[in-house]
Amino acid sequence: MINASVVSYLLNEIKHLPSALVFALVALLVFGEAALFIGFVLPGETAVIVAGVVASQGRINVGVLCLLVVASAIVGDSVGYAIGNRFGEQLLTLPVIRHRRASLERALEGLQRRGPLYVFVGRFTAFLRAVMPGLAGMSKMHYRRFLFANALGGLIWGIGYTLLGYFAGGALNKVEKYSSWAGITLLVLIIAVVTVLHFRRKRRERDEEASWLREHPGEESAKGVE
């Protein structure tokens, strides 16, 4: 019989890391989501939620974690804005970005129509969170307008996802206290939902990209040359 769920095993492994290292890893991942485009590989909320769970187990301080996540999000997005403002269209040639032109065009249109509101809303979507600061800088949005919307979004997002992990961790501890199988079932359900959403998003991106290429046939030949 299994005495602990896989979730508990992973969290226990993280718990053995020094608290300073846990803080540093979360800060780097959240900061790099837009500044270094890490968000295309690992969405920042994943790291934040896991850190929140670790905080629920008493390993790190949840208040300090909230401050660190919010600060890292705001600073990282500001760096992403500066990169977009400095390099502009060159960003669109990066391998991780250039194959998502349909999504980028849609994001640029939304940014032009809604401005700072779109920056705020984009904080809560993985793809937009990774590209929005750079696109805002590229579109020459005034930095003060960007910073206000970005800071507000970073504040709500950072505290919200940190506390989500914190309270979810407390609930998981209570569940596993009575049944290890319940923890495993919860893990399976979470993985299933995340997997379905991931593949749905990928399929939507492929459909949008194919539609965009049909409307811009010259881009397809340009990609072939690259």
DSSP state of 93: G
Residue with tokens 């690992």: 42
* 189 or 67, greater pLDDT: 67
Counting residues of the chain whose pLDDT is more than 90, the rounded percentage is: 19
Residue 65 CA to residue 59 CA, distance in Å, equals 11
Residue 65 clears pLDDT 70, i.e. is over it: yes
CB burial of residue 89 (10 Å; 0-12, 13-18, 19+) = exposed
Q: How many whole angstroms separate alpha carbon 60 and alpha carbon 51?
A: 8
Place of tokens 């960003």: 91
The model's confidence at residue 56, banded by pLDDT at 50, 70 and 90, is confident
Task: Supply 79's token pair.
Answer: 């760096």
At residue 78, the pLDDT reads: 94
Q: What are the tokens at 188?
A: 């399976």
Taken in order 85, 89, 93, 97, the sign of the CA dihedral is positive
pLDDT class of 70 with cuts at 50, 70, 90: very high
Residue 74 has pLDDT above 80, yes or no: yes
Q: Residue 3 carries which DSSP code?
A: -
Q: At 75, list the tokens.
A: 């600073």
Contact 65, 142 (CB under 8 A): no
Q: Of 51 and 72, which is predicted with more confidence? A: 72
pLDDT value of position 153: 93
Digit-coded pLDDT (tens) for 77-136: 999 999 888 887 777 777 666 666 677 777 788 888 888 898 998 888 877 888 888 889
Beta strands in 75-179 (DSSP E): none
What is the distance between the alpha carbons of residues 63 and 65, in angstroms, rounded to a whole number?
Answer: 5
CB 169 within 8 A of CB 52: yes
Q: Which residue has the tokens 């206000």?
A: 148
pLDDT at 4 over 50: no
CB 202 within 8 A of CB 210: no
Q: Which of 10, 49, 50, 53 shows the shortest CA–CA distance to 173?
A: 53
Question: C-alpha distances in angstroms, 37 versus 26, 62, 177, 191, 193?
Answer: 15, 26, 39, 24, 24
pLDDT digits (tens, 9 = 90+) for 179-217: 445 545 555 565 566 667 656 766 766 666 566 556 666
